[in-house]
Amino acid sequence: WTNDKTYTVNYRGEDLSYDENGVQNGKVETPDNSLNFTYDTTPPQSTTTVPAAPNGLTINSLPTISGTAEDTGTNPNIAVKLDYVKINITNTSDEQTLKADQTWGVLDDNLYLNCINPQDNWTTWYYTINYPTATWTNNRNYRIRTKAYDMATTAETGTPERTFTIDTSSPTPIILEPNAQIESSLPTISGTCDATDISNVKIRIKRFFEGTTFWWIGDSWDSGQDDEATQVWRTKTGGVLPAWNYNVSYFNDPPTAWVTGTTYYVTARAWDNATNQKDSASWQFRFDNTPPTSSIAAPPVQSGRYKTLPTISGYCSDAPAGVQTLYFTLTDGTSWYKDVTQQWLTAVSTGTAALSSGNTYWYETPISNYVTDKIYTLKVWGKDSVANENYNTYFASLTFIWDSQGPATTIFYPPATKLKSLTTISGTAMETEANNPGIVNNVKIAIRDTILGTSYYNGVYSSSNCWVPGVQWIDDVNNDGGAVKVDWDYSFTVNYETNVWTDNHEYIISAKAYDQTTLNEGSAASVTFTYDRTAPVSTTTYPLNGKYVQPFVTISGTASSDTKDNGVAIHLRRTTAPQYWNAPGDNWSASEQWPAATGAASWTKDAAGVFTISGANGENYYLITRATDTAYNVESLQAERPFTIDSTTPTLTTIKPVADKYYQRTNLVTISGTSVDLAATNPGKFDTNPVKICIKNITTSRYWKDNTWRLWDDPPDAGVAPWKTADWTFYNVDVATAGYWNYQIAESSWTSGQEYKIWVGVVDQATNKIDYPDGDIQGSIGGIRFYCDSDSPVTTVIDPPSGSNINNISAPATISGACDEKPISPANSAGNKLVQLRIKREPTPGLADGTSWWVAPGWADDPGYWNDGTVYVDSWTFNWGSANMVHKTTYYIYVQASDKAQPENLESTGGNIKSQFLYDTKAGTSTISIPPTGEPHYKSLTTISGSCYDDFSSPDKVLVEVYDETGNVYWSTAGWKASGELSSTYYETQNLQPWTTSWINNNHWTNHHKYRVRSKLRDKSQNLEGVKTENTRYFIYDSTNPTSIVIEPANLAEGKNISNMQTISGTCVDEDPGLVVGSSVAFRQTDVNDADLANSWWNGTDWTGASPLWMGILPENFTLLTDTTYQWKINTNTATWQNDTWYRVYSLSIDKAGNTQNNGSPDNYNRFKYV
């Protein structure tokens, strides 16, 4: 057959009838029948048109699925080729397939539903969804597959698909701009959507203006529209969906699109790919692009002058946004006020003023530090809540002058001095501003009497009571002001002068001026003067009245403070003629002379060559001074003031300390001496306490300061010599030319063994002195050197040492020791002088004659005196020839010493025992505890120990000897050695009660060797114990485990029972010299294959034991067969046996050393079957 060909089949019928001749000759049908058919092997094709291509579209509803179908071919004989179309509908998201009842079932790719043919030829087809909202689920993916069949029942070979997504959710547009209740500019309306499958966004804008609603139609506002009119919904102009924006050029021209104060509404509408649509919430805002207006209320006047302005303020307004911030600048042209720091800075600064409630009033406070004579410019402007501001257009400003200082005032007369008369006060007043000066208004004066405190002149000079309490400012009536500078004066009649001024009173005259406009008060000028009608007084500061003085070249003194320059005159007289000094130099006259001094209140007169000549020493002089003050008052004549020239140094003697001597602390509590003074050959004179001392501890480089010893640079007197004033007693107070001095220092302040120096200085009234510079004292130059030694010598006994134990061998014939002078070197000490000793014994009762003290050549009762030893030595000996010492006796040696200090230091411990020792000539005993007596066996021995005893000097050490008899070697700290390799076969043990010698393991023992142990006690007198039975022991070391075997029952024996096996038996053996001391057996059930069974040990009651129960062999069942081999047996009825069961019999043996066969684990057994 050929595809797409039509075939005709002709056919006729012929029956089986016979002809008349009787011959079968059937009738043939005429005419022929025919049948036409077409041979078709080409499969048909189908296509889905609803939902439309391409695949993956999103739709929101699908009530009908439809499509087309065809069957290719050119045969004109075929009018209808297609037979039917089927459809498979699948929810791929939930993996479900639509069934014939239009409910969803399990996924079935082979379930196809019948489609409907709207025509006879099936070229179009459809499938109706009866309930689309129930069938389709939002946000699910679906797939449609179709299959066409032709009239030849040929099925479509492929499965064409159409995929789509059902989306019934409407997208929500979101407006991002505008986003404020008030907008100052809006060039673009923009936003986004809450979905990504957005197909389009449109925007509607409307406003209410003067009671009418307008809609934006793209280039203007139109009131003839409605909310759903096509023109009012404007398609977005930009943005990549889901983001969108809308802008037109009119939005940048606010008067066209946006008007200040007008309310606007913006709504967005979005469509998704499934044609779902939704409107956004409408955003309402008001438009405001006009800056606020502002004004200045303080300062109120343009170009005004101010001296106080802590606050600047004013008013402001804005609608509809309202004022948010009020800015200001305040500057003098070179500096700007910064409100945050309240400072004036050179950098331009803009401040932010405070706003009142409602934001209609502004202010900035406090403002300070204005600079006078400056012109300030204040400018203010506002910004509303949507940032509208215009610095250049919407502002207020003014300028003002700062004037905070008054005129400067000066007082020309009176000067600051002393005056006898004052009737006129005068001066000037002038404005001080250099650039913007004001005008002087008036001048006032005030006069205060400082003696009267706060009393002021009231201006009524004609009254004798013209002083009143409190400040009184009096107007200068002779000045009317009105200019930048004015002259002023104030005067009163001379006749009334004494009503105003009081002698020796000090007055302060103050004057101040005021300017106009601001009425600034200028700083007051003042002058102080004294009204003086009193004569001055002078005195001499050097030489002082009645004093002895050194030769000098200047006479000096003081005078009243108002003494005029060079106003002091000098009158000097001596006892030797000519008597009167006529300056300058050594010029004397027979008549009185009054040469002038230099200076005023403090004055001097050059007297060079007057008192320095040799004849002046010891001469008496008499001095008078006379002063004239600035008011020319002249001092009254004084009495003569005598003085004496003295250039002779006093003498000084120190009684204690004496140079290079040693003193006890008690002898240094008082340091003392004497001193005498002369003036030439005449008596000199001391003032009280003329002597000073300075003490240095040479050893520690410290100085006596503040009643303690301190370093040179320590306070007080840091860095200078710390002189201390000694107490002084005159021999004759009236003459005051000689006396005794002393200085007290606490005994505890002196340190024994240290070197000191003392410097003693003295000064007479004329300052002649013995003194030492700081460098001498710091450098320890000069002075008196002495030492402190308050420590007694300390003696010790070296042989025999205290606490020693001696015997007849170690007993010394000579007692020796040391004498240490204290303090020891390098400290300073006076040196030893004498060592003495006494010897006492205390014998054990019954062992001596009872006499206790050594009195050469024997023992006697206490003689009460000391035996002299060696003098002036540091090491001493005393020969007593062993003195017949007695066993078990205690001896005591007493020693004392003295040194060469003044007074001597005697050893305070001389009566105490310096050495106590025991005399012991008999040894103690030792005993060995481990190993014990007999011949024990050990598999481990890490400690040998025992005890010891001594009845007098007590044990010192136990020595032990460990001998390997088998190997013929001795144990030593270096291991096993032959006797010839050791100086002694004994070595020291540890401790005493008990004594021990230990090893960390058993590696030093040899298996099956025999050992001997001996001990010896050495007491503290070194007496050594001999060898005895009680300190000798033996033992055998055995580390080999014994062995045992089971003989009855034989291994693998069957048919054993109590009748034919009354005992279970075996043998055990240990290697010589080991010795078996016992055996044990244990029983266990097994299976027929000798496998272990859980909990199958005989436990004494039944066969449920988890571990072996070892049963010891009784002594009567333990029989020695050979030297080291034993037979053991145990009754068979010891356990309860079960018929037809296999058992194991284990045996275990232990030797005398405690070694256990297989270390105690069951391993050796015979197996039998009990029947």
Angle at 1083 between CA 1082 and CA 1086, to 5 degrees: 145
User: Which residues does residue 93 pair with via DSSP β-bridges, in sequence order?
Assistant: none
HEC sequence for 254-318: HHHHCCCCCEEEEEEEEEECCCCEEECCCEEEEECCCCCEEEEEECCCCCEEECCCCCEEEEEEC
Residue 241: is its pLDDT beyond 90? yes
Residue 484: is its pLDDT beyond 80? no
Residues in the chain, overall count = 1171
| Higher per-residue confidence, 871 vs 794 | 794
Whether the Cβ atoms of residue 101 and residue 130 lie closer than 8 Å to each other = no
CATH 3.30.360.10, domain 408-531, yes or no: no
Residue 675: is its pLDDT beyond 90? yes
Q: What integer pLDDT is reported at residue 963 of this predicted model?
A: 96
Centre a 10 Å sphere on the Cβ of residue 774 and count the other Cβ atoms it contains.
12
- Burial of residue 1079 (number of CB atoms within 10 Å: 0-12, 13-18, 19+): buried
In angstroms, the CA 805 to CA 918 distance is 5
Cis? peptide before 683, omega within 30° of 0 = no
Whether the Cβ atoms of residue 606 and residue 579 lie closer than 8 Å to each other = no
User: Which residues does residue 955 pair with via DSSP β-bridges, in sequence order?
Assistant: 1019
| Higher per-residue confidence, 734 vs 709 | 709
* Strand pairing category for 1165-1170 and 1053-1056: parallel
* Strand pairing category for 323-331 and 662-663: unpaired
Q: Determine if residue 748 is left, alpha or beta; phi over 0 gives left, psi from -120 to 50 gives alpha, anything else beta.
A: alpha
Top-tier CATH class for 538-645: mainly beta
pLDDT tens by residue, 822-867: 888 778 888 888 888 888 888 777 766 666 888 877 788 887 778 7
Token pair in block for residue 927:
């005993």
Mapped onto helix, strand or coil, the DSSP state of residue 512 is strand
SS3 content of the chain, % helix, strand, coil (to 5): 5, 45, 50
Residue 82 CA to chain centroid, in angstroms? 95
45-166: what fold? Immunoglobulin-like (2.60.40)
| Local confidence band at 1006 (pLDDT 50, 70, 90 cut-offs) | very high
Residue 1004: is its pLDDT beyond 80? yes
How much is the average pLDDT of 703-722? Answer: 94
Q: How far lies 504's CA from each of 458, 528, 530, 531, in Å?
A: 20, 13, 6, 5
The residues, ordered by sequence, that sit 6+ positions from 962 with a Cβ below 8 Å of its Cβ are: 944, 970, 971, 997, 1011, 1012, 1013
Closest CA to 572 of 601, 538, 595: 595
Q: What integer pLDDT is reported at residue 1018 of this predicted model?
A: 93
| Higher per-residue confidence, 226 vs 37 | 226
Residue 882: is its pLDDT beyond 70? no
Closest CA to 913 of 1009, 855, 839: 839
Mapped onto helix, strand or coil, the DSSP state of residue 362 is strand
Q: What integer pLDDT is reported at residue 362 of this predicted model?
A: 93
Residue 437: is its pLDDT beyond 70? yes
What's phi and psi for 980, nearest 5 deg? -70, -15
C-alpha torsion 1002→1008→1014→1015, nearest 10:
20
In angstroms, the CA 874 to CA 921 distance is 33
How much is the average pLDDT of 570-574? Answer: 94
Whether the Cβ atoms of residue 993 and residue 1017 lie closer than 8 Å to each other = no
1043-1170: what fold? Immunoglobulin-like (2.60.40)
Residue 868: is its pLDDT beyond 90? no
Q: What integer pLDDT is reported at residue 849 of this predicted model?
A: 67
pLDDT tens by residue, 126-178: 999 999 999 999 999 999 999 999 888 889 998 899 999 999 999 999 999 99
CATH (residue range 925-1037): 2.60.40.1220
Q: How far lies 836's CA from each of 811, 856, 896, 913, 916, in Å?
A: 21, 14, 5, 13, 17
Token pair in block for residue 998:
């230990």
* Strand pairing category for 937-938 and 1032-1037: parallel
Question: What is the chain's Cα-based Rg?
Answer: 71
Quote the strand ranges of 978-1069, DSSP E. 987-988, 995-998, 1009-1019, 1032-1037, 1043-1048, 1053-1056, 1063-1069
**Tokens 């469509």, residue?**
271
What is the pTM assigned to this prediction?
A: 0.41
**CATH among 3.30.420, 1.10.1660, 3.40.190, 2.60.40 for 651-657+664-788:** 2.60.40
Give me the long-range contacts of 857-861 (CB less than 8 A, separation at least 24): 857/881, 858/883, 858/884, 859/883, 859/884
Amino acid at 314: G
Are domains 293-402 and 1043-1170 of this chain identical in fold? yes
pLDDT tens by residue, 914-926: 889 898 989 999 9
The residues, ordered by sequence, that sit 6+ positions from 836 with a Cβ below 8 Å of its Cβ are: 866, 867, 868, 869, 895, 896, 897, 910
Whether the Cβ atoms of residue 1061 and residue 1125 lie closer than 8 Å to each other = no
| Local confidence band at 1028 (pLDDT 50, 70, 90 cut-offs) | confident
| Higher per-residue confidence, 39 vs 243 | 243
* Strand pairing category for 5-11 and 33-39: antiparallel
Closest CA to 1079 of 1136, 1145, 1028, 1029: 1145
The residues, ordered by sequence, that sit 6+ positions from 744 with a Cβ below 8 Å of its Cβ are: 669, 670, 727
Q: What integer pLDDT is reported at residue 80 of this predicted model?
A: 64
In angstroms, the CA 221 to CA 205 distance is 9
How much is the average pLDDT of 742-750? Answer: 95
Q: What integer pLDDT is reported at residue 477 of this predicted model?
A: 67
Question: For 1078-1143, where are the alpha helices, taking DSSP H only?
Answer: none
Kindly report which listed range (29-43, 52-66, 144-158, 837-851) carries the lowest average pLDDT score: 837-851
Q: What integer pLDDT is reported at residue 539 of this predicted model?
A: 95
Whether the Cβ atoms of residue 1164 and residue 1063 lie closer than 8 Å to each other = no
pLDDT tens by residue, 182-193: 998 899 999 999
Mapped onto helix, strand or coil, the DSSP state of residue 747 is helix
Instruction: Say how many CA atoms lie within 13 Å of 1106 toward its Cβ.
Output: 0
In angstroms, the CA 926 to CA 1030 distance is 8
Amino acid at 543: P
Whether the Cβ atoms of residue 822 and residue 791 lie closer than 8 Å to each other = yes
How much is the average pLDDT of 560-581? Answer: 92
What's phi and psi for 774, nearest 5 deg? -55, -35
Q: What integer pLDDT is reported at residue 302 of this predicted model?
A: 85
Q: What integer pLDDT is reported at residue 481 of this predicted model?
A: 67
**CATH among 2.60.40, 1.10.238, 3.30.70, 1.10.405 for 794-918:** 2.60.40
User: Which residues does residue 364 pair with via DSSP β-bridges, in sequence order?
Assistant: 312
Averaged confidence pLDDT in the chain: 89
Whether the Cβ atoms of residue 441 and residue 516 lie closer than 8 Å to each other = yes
In angstroms, the CA 642 to CA 545 distance is 6
pLDDT above 90: percentage of residues in the chain: 57
293-402: what fold? Immunoglobulin-like (2.60.40)
| Local confidence band at 688 (pLDDT 50, 70, 90 cut-offs) | very high
Token pair in block for residue 786:
């002495």
pLDDT tens by residue, 102-132: 999 999 999 999 999 988 788 899 999 999 9
Q: What integer pLDDT is reported at residue 883 of this predicted model?
A: 62
* Strand pairing category for 889-899 and 913-919: antiparallel
pLDDT tens by residue, 602-652: 999 999 989 988 788 988 999 999 999 888 889 999 999 999 999 999 999
Residue 343: is its pLDDT beyond 90? yes
Query: In the CATH scheme, what architecture does the domain 173-287 have?
Result: Sandwich (2.60)
Residue 376: is its pLDDT beyond 90? yes
C-alpha torsion 174→175→181→182, nearest 10:
170
Q: What integer pLDDT is reported at residue 176 of this predicted model?
A: 95
Q: What integer pLDDT is reported at residue 734 of this predicted model?
A: 81
Mapped onto helix, strand or coil, the DSSP state of residue 778 is helix
Closest CA to 292 of 260, 257, 256, 330: 260
| Local confidence band at 526 (pLDDT 50, 70, 90 cut-offs) | very high
| Local confidence band at 1100 (pLDDT 50, 70, 90 cut-offs) | very high
* Domain locations along the chain: 5-39, 45-166, 173-287, 293-402, 408-531, 538-645, 651-657+664-788, 794-918, 925-1037, 1043-1170
